[in-house]
Copies of this chain bind each other. A is one copy, B any other.
């Protein structure tokens, strides 16, 4: 038995502006989104998935992503990223000043088709083009989100070998481009030991300079915090979460609720882990986000008497 010791620091990637807002059907006023993002930055958030450069026909809620990038791109010390489903999205993101492009491929065929209407291999082909485009712009980096890395709403449990296959191809394409790979528990059904197993096996097989690992989870099955900590113990240096637990995946039935940033922060700060985030201020941001019309939130910390939070 080895004692589970906390790492010195974990990077929190706040995804409420993308995965969270996206779960709200009726487009929110851009000014409201800006106030929420300001509140997140006030709390010390330094990595922010600010939106998605997708067709407004597909997701109307993301139509103002360019405006949000423009509003926050010059904030010192803030690392913005934006999700893109294809080369066109990547072009738009770069044109708007985004330097970290989040590209999603779902490991499971049926989820990838449901999400972006093509096979994982077709998504990988397009990833090749995105990578070529990123190479032409200095200072760019890629965040690769491997959706359904543990479980698929249509196909059930996903084997690590399936993740390995998609990841291997993506890494071949990426060459030496700075890259953070996120294993995404899209449905929230992964168990902590499965998270540990996938991280262990994949990190053993794929080692190269400039390759970092991250975890993206949902708390649907109550595994949110445990899965994140198990991922961290097995090499993830960044974890996605959404303030107030806003979110869900519109294409993954039953996948309500990103893991709440405040819950994760409570867990990490309890071990003295540095996150740069001030929890009481983050809870003010969570209150603001929870007050947005049409949102579904899932935060434990917000329900605790505020004087019990530190």
A264: nearest residue on chain B (CB-CB)?
B222
Task: Kindly state whether residue A44 has any CB partner on chain B within 8 Å.
Answer: no
Residue numbers in B under 8 Å from A194 (CB-CB): 270-271
Instruction: Annotate A195-230 by CB proximity to B: 1 below 8 A, 0 otherwise.
Output: 011001000000000000000000111111110011
Instruction: Report yes or no: A266 in contact with B222, Cβ–Cβ below 8 A.
Output: yes
Among B153, B235, B300, the residue within 8 A (CB) of A222 is B300
Nearest Cβ in chain B — how far from A250, in angstroms?
A: 15
What's the least CB distance linking A226 to chain B, in Å?
4
Asked if B220 and A300 make an inter-chain contact with CB atoms under 8 angstroms apart, the answer reads: yes
Min CB gap A144→B, angstroms = 22
Interface bin, chain A:
35 or more
1/0 contact string of A226-246 vs chain B (CB within 8 Å): 100110011100000000000
Q: Interface segment, A18-26, A94-102, A110-118, A301-309?
A: A301-309
Q: Which residues of A are at the interface with B, using a C-beta cutoff of 8 A?
A: 1-6, 153, 187, 189-194, 196-197, 200, 219-226, 229-230, 233-235, 253-254, 256, 260, 263, 266-273, 299-301, 303-305, 308
A to B CB contacts below 8 Å, 22 in the list: A1-B233, A1-B235, A3-B200, A4-B192, A4-B196, A4-B233, A5-B193, A189-B308, A191-B267, A192-B226, A192-B229, A194-B270, A219-B222, A220-B303, A221-B301, A222-B260, A222-B301, A223-B263, A226-B226, A226-B267, A229-B230, A254-B308
